[in-house]
A and B are shown apart, each in its own frame.
Chain A
Amino acid sequence: MTNRSRLTGIWYVLPALAFVIAFTAWPFLQMVWISLNDWSLITPPDFVGFQNYLDAFADSQFWVSLSFTLKYTLYITPILMIGGYLVSLLVTPNSGLSRLTRTVVFTPVVIGLGASSLLWYWLFSPNYGLVNKFLMDLGIIDSPVLWLGVDANLSNWAVILSITWKVLGFGMILFVAAIQAIPQEITEATMVDGAGFWQRVRKVILPLTRRTILLVTLVSVIGSLLAFDQFYIMTAGQPRNLTATSTFYVYLNSFPYLKLGYGAALSMILALIILGFTVVQMILTRRSER
């Protein structure tokens, strides 16, 4: 490669590189620096070394939040994956009904997460919510259920329901695209061989859409580990901080409590955990390609 062509390559890469440096690398370095300081924004920063990290490990609420976040991720990821995949199997054929179903299931994806959380917050309202009214009219319950902010498990499931409604279509549409990309000859060959629908799903469709499954899993896991809006709006961490996710706890410390250094340290720890998950996912993806 000549010097001239090398230089040309650098020029092509430079805009992307500048973007990454300005909007990812530099803020990340700043966050590292902030995490080493005790800083409230309204007073000058005070360098404290790794004290914020030591405080985080001794902070019981941090572990409660992390444990709840992992629990939420563990619950919602299979629901989104299996649910999205099953729906995609139903709506893959390009019939009118399938297209309509795809549109209906995908529509919530384009609604902002804040708006959808607010919508579900009011749907679950004990006095004004349609969910309770519906269940009472059907005679399933006698008195309003306190979905949010009273019982941690119930609150978690209420949020999971709202997010499933909101996000299921995202996985579905990717799965539909992946399934539709399977060469028709393969499907027809398995049909000629006498394979039933579920056999085709198990032996052909699932293996050939593995990369998409891993991609959607990765997106879903990272999104769930960073869950904020839905809990901020629907439960505010209640009851007794048991539904305060890690990101919610980071926000709480960084801004309302004005402990920016501590919040940055919590962010760093969370980033490392997510990095760990991502590395595992990447290893799995590479293995699947062999």
Chain B
Amino acid sequence: MGHTSKEERLVTGRKHGVRRLQPSVMMILILAWAMVAGACADSGAGDTTTSAAAEEEPTTTAAAEEEPTTTAAAEETTTSVAGEALAVTCDPVSPDTEGSLTMWERTGGNAQMVDALVCAWNGRNPDRPISLEYIEHTAMVDRLARGLATGDVPDLMGMDLIYGPQFTSAGQLLEVTDLVDQDLMATASPGHVATATWEDSLYGVPLYADVSALFWNKDLFEAAGLDPETPPTNLTELHDMAAAITGIEDGVYGYYLPGNCAGCNIFTFAPMIWANGGKIEPAAPGDEAMVTPEVIAPVLEWARMMHQEGLIDPAAQSEDGATFAQVFGSGNVGIMGTGNFNITLVSGAEGIEGQNPDMNYGVTLIPGLNTGDVASFLGGDIVVVPQGSERLDDAVDFMNFILSDEVQVEVYAKLLNMTTRTDPELTDNPYYAEVPLLQDVAAAIEIGQTPFTLKFFELVNSPQGPWLQMLQRVYYSDDDINTVIADAKAEMEAIINE
């Protein structure tokens, strides 16, 4: 190796045979690398990425997003109905397919159900199949809003039902009042119909339904010396049973309330307030929130007592919804408010492995302070047609198709989901007969309530909203309950009156 002067080494950047990069060159390389890496990362950060704290938080359907979903490439199964095969799995359809309809659906909902409905439709309508695109659920509202502003909208779409009033009131959905089959709509889920209706005009039909209910772990009841076949019928009983269960084994708690998840709480805790006659959110400007504080306060006092007595896992304080659906199936919680989707999650179903299939548990309606007072949150999605769609007739055909008896039984019930019509002859089907728990939870649809407000996200679903802020003060502070309610009421009314 020849000798090199220091000057030469500095010029060439070589020392001991190793190249030294000049700072400016190095910086440019780094920036270029970072930009490429950022672009790669961002390329998936739009509509289809997953994020934890915010994204995982359930909306009205709580933790349904955790429900295992069927994949498009799954083995195709068919059901023979009246001599015809009704497919519930299929390959996805490209939006470039001639005659296809484009449909948006949010992630975090019931993808398994929507996939199956689309496959059933596509099997029967090969000349006008649906090309389904999933939109990140936290981005769905603004994606639709942007689409409406620019004309980039799908032919039809699934929408979290609680956002129905916001878009119908703004005149951004096409009316279907006289187009859908009135006989089928007569027994359609009332909560879905209410949120799809604005000033007596109908803008959508139920796509799928999720209801909240109270699940109790019979194994833990037995271990605690409680009657495993007798669930609590009021909040006092619930407290006493939870107290008996808490601590029977290390890490076992009597009850569960997620402390950092607005959607989970409106789904599972709000029904206790409703059962007691309370109302939480204002519907429109001028409407009153938190009606009435005297009715709501005792339920909040009960929740605070459950925390103060240590009947709820302290780790629940950080539960933002990401693991909410797995809590009951862990077998460490005696009683818990959750949704119908938890039956499949815990016990499994055809093609779906259960989290804890040997666990014995029951399902009952969520009680209030007094025996006999019960309530449930009725959530899910509605199918709507955004302004700008040029396929209204086809979209309406899809609406009538999913409301039909055949699809109600051979798709919804077969996949152990709630039927979206409440006719007894539909809920009394062979699939539910094999899973009696589904019949128990199906009773919640008839008593289910769905909040109706023009600003649901800002009022309730947002982690920054007054609903979760109120609950966190109730659960984890000693603030006066009446003050907490008054603050939430004032903030909600300020938001709705903006």
Contacts and interface: CB of A to CB of B under 8 A. Distances in A.
B260 A238 contact: yes
B318 A236 contact: no
A101 interface: no
Given A174-B23, A184-B10, A237-B463, A256 B41 contact: no
Interface stretch (B30-38, B66-74, B271-279, B351-359): B30-38
A244 B469 CA distance: 13
Interface stretch (B111-119, B141-149, B338-346, B395-403): B141-149
Contacts of B166: 42, 258
B52 A234 contact: yes
Given A41-B145, A244-B464, 8 more contacts: A40-B170, A42-B148, A94-B15, A118-B51, A146-B314, A177-B26, A236-B53, A255-B145
A27 interface: no
A278 interface: no
Interface of B: 6, 9-10, 15-16, 18, 20-23, 26-27, 30, 33-34, 37-38, 40-42, 45, 49-55, 57, 138-139, 141-142, 145-146, 148-149, 166-167, 170, 172, 259-260, 314-315, 317-318, 320, 322-323, 455, 457-458, 462-464, 469, 472
A181 B322 CA distance: 48
B489 to A, nearest CB: 17
A110 B33 contact: yes
Interface of A: 40-43, 61, 94, 109-115, 117-118, 121-122, 125-128, 143-144, 146-150, 170, 173-174, 177-178, 180-181, 183-185, 212, 232-241, 244, 252, 254-258
B148 A41 contact: yes
A233 B52 contact: yes
A118 B56 CA distance: 11
B27 A128 contact: no
A94 B259 CA distance: 51
A126 B315 contact: yes
Contact of B53 (A43, A112, A150, A233): A233
Contacts of A239: 260, 472
Nearest to B477: A240
Given A114-B49, A238-B320, A174 B54 contact: no
A235 B457 contact: no
B142 A185 contact: no
A20 B467 CA distance: 44
Contacts of A146: 314-315, 317-318
Contacts of A61: 464
Contact of A149 (B20, B142, B260, B323): B260
Contacts, number: 152
A115 B51 CA distance: 8
Contacts of B314: 143, 146
B323 A233 contact: no
Nearest to B17: A94
A21 B230 CA distance: 71
Nearest to A148: B318
A255 B139 CA distance: 8
Contact of A256 (B15, B259, B317, B457): B457
Contacts of B139: 255
Given A177-B23, A236-B57, A110 B34 contact: yes
5 contacts: A114-B51, A146-B314, A236-B320, A239-B260, A255-B145
Nearest to B41: A112
B343 to A, nearest CB: 22
A212 B37 CA distance: 22
Given A170-B30, A177-B23, A256-B458, A184 B15 contact: yes
A90 B363 CA distance: 62
Given A110-B34, A234-B52, A256 B26 contact: no
A122 B30 CA distance: 28
A232 B51 contact: yes
Given A94-B18, A236-B57, A252 B51 contact: no
Contact of B323 (A114, A125, A144): A125
B284 to A, nearest CB: 15
A235 B21 CA distance: 39
A284 B163 CA distance: 51
A111 B40 CA distance: 9
A220 to B, nearest CB: 13
Given A115-B41, A170-B30, A236-B54, A150 B317 contact: yes
Nearest to A184: B6
A185 B41 contact: no
Given A112-B37, A180-B20, A257-B457, A41 B317 contact: no
Nearest to A43: B170
B469 A118 contact: no
Nearest to A175: B23
Given A41-B148, A127-B315, A252-B462, A235 B170 contact: no
A257 B458 contact: yes
Contacts of B38: 112
A122 B52 contact: yes
Contacts of B50: 118
B104 to A, nearest CB: 15
